[in-house]
Structure formats: C-alpha cells, structure tokens
Amino acid sequence: MEHLAQLLQEHFRNHPGMELRDAIKFLYQSSMGGGHLIADPRGALARLEEEWARTEGDPALSPTEPLGGGLCRLSLAACKGLGLAPTTVFALFLRGTEEFSRQPERLDRSLELLYRLPFPPKEIEAAIRQYRAAGLPMVGHSTAYRQAFSPAYRVVLQSDAALLPLLAAIDRSRREHPRTLTAMDGPCATGKSTLGARLARLYSCPLFHMDDFFLPPERKTPERLAQPGGNVDYERFFAQVLSPLSRGEPVLYQPYRCHSGTLEAARTMAPPPQEGGGRGLAQSPKIKTQEEKKRKKTTPQSSAFSPPPGRCGKPACWTGAARTGWSASGLSGSHWRISIFGRFLFPAPVMCTWRPAQVRAGHRVPPRTEP
C-alpha cells in the first residue's frame, strides 16, 4: 500500500484543488479498473469517440499517469497528439477491462490512505463511512476537478502503455494505406511472440510466425545459408502468405516442424472481414470513426498490390528471430527492430527500434529453435 500512497500523494500535488471524491476515484480505479464503462461496448466506443472529437491532441503531454496495481490513466490528448486512432485506444481499454482482476478488498483497505492527504480527519472519516455504506461504488470527478483539469483519459494496463510508440506508428501507416503489415525482428527469447500475440489481439489481425517457415534440411546448402535469412523458406512465405494477403484472399499454409522435419496439415487463415464484431469490435468497419469513413472514400486503390476496394484496413503481423533475415544488421542482444509496411510486396518500411523490456509484461517466451 505504501507505493499506492505515494502515487495518491503525487496526484494530489499535481492537481491542486482536488476534492476527496477525486481521491476516492483514484483509489477505486487502482483496485477496480475501468470496466464499469464496458457494459455496452458500442456505447463505450461511441462515448470515447465523442470525447476524442472534443479533445485537442498534444504530443508534449505525458501519455500516462500511474494508478498502481498495474494500471494507469491514458491521456486521450497525448494519444491523439502521438497519432493513435481512437479505436486503438478503445482496444487497449477493452483489453484492460478483460485482463484486470477487480479487487474490492484492496479498495476497502486503500481508503485508509485518504488520511495521508491534507483534508480534515473528520471529513475523511465521514466520507469513508458513507462510501462503505454505499457499497464502494464508482464515483465521478468533482465539478472543481473537471473545471480545472478537463480530465479525458481511459484506464489501461501499464504494460500496454509501453506499446504507444509502436501503436502510433502502426496507426499512422494505416491512415495512409488501407492495409498494413508489421514485421518483427530480434534475438531469440526476447518476447517477439508475446508482442506479436498482443498486437494481433489489439488489432484483430492475422499473426504469422517465421518458425513455421524454416527451410527444410535438404535445401540448407552452404550457398543458401550464406544469404541473409537463407534458413527461412521465404519463397513459400511469399507464395502462401504475402501474395494471397495482398489480394485480400484467404491464406492457406503448412507450418514447418523442426523436430520432425515435416510440414503439418494445411491451416487456413481468413483475411480481415469487411464487417465484424465481438473481439474485433474496436477495429470493425461498422463502427469506424467519421474520419476513417471519410478517408475510406478518398484512399486510392490504383496499385495492383494494394488490397481490393472495400476491404477493412486491418494490419497483419509476423514475427521472426534475427537469424531469419529480417534486416538483422544493427541489432544488439537487447533490442528488436520492427518494420511497418504500407504495402505488401513493394514496401517502404518505417523502422522502429527499442528495448524488449519496454513492451514485455515481465516474462520471457521460451525460444523455439531449429535442430
């Protein structure tokens, strides 16, 4: 609780004039998250988009304020300034409500931290008594707090907030191109699979692992292995994955298994649908923002390698170790390099490089090695 007390006191110092109910709201969100807003996902997204439209983007703002308990407040103004799409912010918010376990007992105990703030003790005692009698409900910000600070944020996982530079780069690419590819490169056991799975879930997009496209032993000639990425069957990856994706067609591919040296039964992965819901709600064309709807009408479709008109602008993602040849030069043992492609077959990539510790949730993915 001591760390939470420090965060609460810092919040008080940064928000002069805040009232007791604002402190209670801070403690509530630290233990209960923001899931109270997700009873109606479509309504929650609509409210976020309305708030987004009223908010002026400011990239100079700090994007997060820690709440403790693995959560933080994510500033809409900062996200808008960085170039994120509101649907991406909503996807982060939705993921946080699904992954976070509400802790009412912790909330009840944390109320004693209010005595660390310079409010009259009797006022604090009365507020705690009334709040407990009401059943520890969610409370809104005070009028004074709203007028002074115009709060516009969503509660998300602190670990997801570390993804903001990458998500902003992806969203900026998606504004210019109807479909986006993201390729991830880095040393073994640095969390590429974990990050790839997280991106696939946030964007409801296909995810491909380059481990499924290792070169069979009979093709591992000295000449082939001397090439950058030569131990990957990039011809098969192109034919079975990139080529059909570029046409908006289903992907049919056979994962390669190193332990047996054989190809598994074929898997089918559908391209992003034109309409959707459920898990992909935040990226569904049914609930695109007005800005995205306008952009969809004006986006050129002249290139033969752009997706066909009418397709949803969801990204695809694939991951691979540094030895698979995704521009491994310049990588150190503690960095990834992530390429974001605006087109499928003749890309002009945007390169992002940063440390895995910035985006991992504190655990390592066991490496999958070839024989």
Q: At 79, which helix (H) or strand (E)?
A: helix 76-82
| Residue that wins the pLDDT comparison between 214 and 281 | 214
pLDDT at residue 351 in the model:
43
The label of the residue with tokens 């407990």 reads: 132
Is the sign of the CA dihedral 250, 95, 165, 55 positive or negative? positive
Name the nearest CA neighbour of 75 among 163, 152, 157. 152
pLDDT at residue 283 in the model:
35
The label of the residue with tokens 């409370």 reads: 139
Burial degree of 276 (CB within 10 A; 0-12, 13-18, 19+) = middle
* Structural tokens at position 197: 């799975």
Cβ-Cβ contacts under 8 Å for 135 (sequence gap 6 or more): none
Do 34 and 93 form a contact (C-beta atoms < 8 A)?
yes
User: Percentage of the chain with pLDDT > 90?
Assistant: 37
Q: How confident is the model at residue 60 (pLDDT cuts 50, 70, 90)?
A: very high
* Integer-rounded Cα radius of gyration of the chain: 24
pLDDT at residue 154 in the model:
94
Do 194 and 188 form a contact (C-beta atoms < 8 A)?
no
pLDDT at residue 36 in the model:
61
Q: Is the pLDDT of residue 329 over 60?
A: no
Q: Please, what is the average pLDDT of the chain?
A: 75
SS3 content of the chain, % helix, strand, coil (to 5): 45, 15, 40
pTM of the model: 0.73
pLDDT at residue 194 in the model:
83
Torsion (CA) 180, 365, 157, 129 in degrees, nearest 10: 160
* Structural tokens at position 348: 């002009």
Asked which of 86-100, 137-151, 268-282, 285-299 is least confident by mean pLDDT, the reply is 285-299
Q: How confident is the model at residue 363 (pLDDT cuts 50, 70, 90)?
A: very low
> What value does the mean pLDDT take over residues 73-95?
94
How many alpha carbons fall within 13 Å on the CB side of residue 232? 18
* Structural tokens at position 27: 């403690």
Separation of alpha carbons 87 and 340, rounded Å:
19
| Residue that wins the pLDDT comparison between 98 and 366 | 98
Q: Is the pLDDT of residue 203 over 50?
A: yes
Q: Is the pLDDT of residue 303 over 50?
A: no
* Structural tokens at position 86: 């509101």
> What value does the mean pLDDT take over residues 172-194?
78
> What value does the mean pLDDT take over residues 21-45?
86
Q: Beta strands 207-209 and 316-321: pairing type?
A: parallel
SS3 category, 122: helix
Do 247 and 318 form a contact (C-beta atoms < 8 A)?
no
Q: ∠ at Cα 23 (17, 25), nearest 5°?
A: 125
pLDDT at residue 37 in the model:
54
Cβ-Cβ contacts under 8 Å for 53 (sequence gap 6 or more): none
pLDDT at residue 272 in the model:
60
Q: Is the pLDDT of residue 162 over 50?
A: yes
Q: Is the pLDDT of residue 273 over 70?
A: no
Asked which of 113-117, 289-293, 301-305 is least confident by mean pLDDT, the reply is 301-305
> What value does the mean pLDDT take over residues 124-132?
96
How many alpha carbons fall within 13 Å on the CB side of residue 195? 30
Separation of alpha carbons 164 and 162, rounded Å:
6
Q: How many residues make up the chain in this entry?
A: 371
**Looking at this protein, which amino acid is placed at residue 197?**
A
Separation of alpha carbons 33 and 154, rounded Å:
10
